[in-house]
């Protein structure tokens, strides 16, 4: 059994629309319409949205000229637009069957309900599921071929070796490394500075030497270099801190949809750097303005999920 990298072929793409807070304050509806309008040309798109929120969703779609008929609507919604906190992590067995790793996210108030939602999602996809048996979070793991990086934030104290043993026992053909999250980032998610874009290739944020950010990401970069992975460095942007906002804008929080790449953009000259890297790998690149949603500590990868295609 092997964990599946997110640049592998996918069959479905998921988003979740919530009217309150995330949409009204951070403009998730606008961003989701932009993403769905493009993604629906490459893969089946399913949007989780409650029936009570449909009228407002239709208003948003009309405002941003998106035809909802292009996607499937599912009223079985988790009620959280930041999906990469709790949805399954996918693996593949020797027979090509996809297995969903199911867990409880310890940082969410409705963790039990979200875990149950992940099981229902697994059932709809026709996959089997495996209980991890300990608390976890989706974006605290990144896969690229035989290398798997795990966020240090969930591997502390007495639980460190027990949790690591789960992965090494179930996935003996892959090597696991516990690495620090980005200094200053409140999410502790690895997708805030690392993006696996192709076999043995990564987009990685770059920060000035000797800063806390540069020092925090050095262990992950050293590990990848030792495995002869290619690191494409892109600017790590300055933090945004005011009122209750404390976030780290970045270019690593993107998504691969088969041959399409959805790239974070901030209306800055630096936007083109990561887009050019993805084009060099043969992707059709679509910049998505993340200037508003990043204020909620999320980007394209945080608010979406891809489901892999089983091997034939």
- At residue 265, the 3 state secondary structure works out as strand
- As assigned by CATH, the class of the 2-308 domain is alpha beta
For the chain, which residues make up each domain, given as ranges? 2-308
What does the pLDDT profile of the chain (312 residues) look like in tens digits?
999 999 999 999 999 999 887 888 999 999 999 999 999 999 999 999 999 999 999 999 999 999 999 999 999 999 999 999 999 999 999 888 999 999 999 999 899 999 999 999 999 999 999 999 999 999 999 999 999 999 999 999 988 999 999 999 999 999 999 999 999 999 999 999 999 999 999 999 999 999 999 999 999 999 999 999 999 999 999 999 999 999 999 999 999 999 999 999 999 999 999 999 999 999 999 999 999 999 999 999 999 999 999 876
Tokens at 107, concatenated:
């940082």
| Cβ atoms within 10 Å of 239's Cβ, excluding its own | 13
pLDDT for residue 20? 83
Q: Residue 242 pairs with which residues in a beta bridge?
A: 245
Strand intervals (E) in 171-311 = 175-179, 194-198, 201-206, 230-235, 240-242, 245-247, 255-257, 260-265, 284-289, 305-308
pTM for the full predicted model: 0.95
Cα 73 from Cα 70, distance rounded (Å): 10
Confidence (pLDDT) at 94: 86
- How far is Cα 111 from Cα 87, in angstroms, rounded to an integer? 11
Q: Which residues contact 194 (CB under 8 A, 6 or more apart)?
A: 142, 149, 202, 203, 204, 205, 217, 220, 252
| Rounded-to-integer distance, Cα 123 and Cα 27, Å | 31
* Cα–Cα separations (whole angstroms), residue 161 to 26, 90, 164, 167, 257: 39, 22, 5, 10, 34
């Amino acid at each position: 059994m092997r964990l599946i990298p997110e640049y592998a072929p996918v069959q479905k793409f998921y988003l979740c629309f919530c009217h309150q807070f995330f949409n009204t304050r951070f403009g998730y509806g606008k961003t989701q319409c932009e993403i769905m309008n493009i993604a629906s040309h490459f893969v089946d798109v399913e949007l989780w949205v409650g029936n009570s929120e449909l009228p407002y969703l239709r208003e948003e779609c009309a405002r941003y000229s998106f035809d909802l008929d292009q996607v499937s609507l599912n009223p079985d919604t988790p009620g959280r637009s930041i999906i990469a906190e709790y949805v399954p992590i996918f693996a593949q067995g020797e027979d090509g069957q996809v297995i969903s790793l199911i867990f409880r996210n310890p940082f969410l108030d409705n963790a039990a309900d979200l875990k149950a939602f992940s099981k229902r999602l697994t059932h709809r996809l026709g996959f089997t599921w495996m209980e991890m048996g300990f608390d976890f979070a989706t974006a605290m793991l990144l896969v690229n071929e035989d290398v798997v990086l795990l966020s240090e934030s969930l591997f502390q104290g007495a639980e460190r070796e027990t949790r690591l043993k789960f992965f090494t026992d179930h996935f003996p053909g892959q090597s696991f490394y516990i690495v620090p999250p980005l200094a200053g980032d409140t999410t502790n998610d690895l997708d805030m500075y690392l993006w696996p874009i192709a076999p043995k290739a990564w987009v990685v944020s770059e920060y000035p030497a000797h800063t806390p950010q540069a020092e925090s990401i050095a262990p992950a970069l050293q590990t990848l270099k030792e495995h002869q992975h290619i690191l494409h460095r892109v600017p790590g942007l300055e933090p945004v801190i005011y009122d209750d906002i404390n976030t780290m804008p970045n270019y690593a929080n993107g998504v691969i949809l088969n041959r399409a790449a959805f790239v974070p953009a901030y209306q800055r000259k630096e936007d083109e750097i990561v887009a050019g890297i993805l084009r060099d790998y043969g992707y059709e690149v679509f910049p998505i303005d993340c200037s508003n949603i990043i204020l909620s500590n999320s980007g394209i990868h945080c608010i979406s999920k891809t489901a892999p295609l089983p091997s034939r």
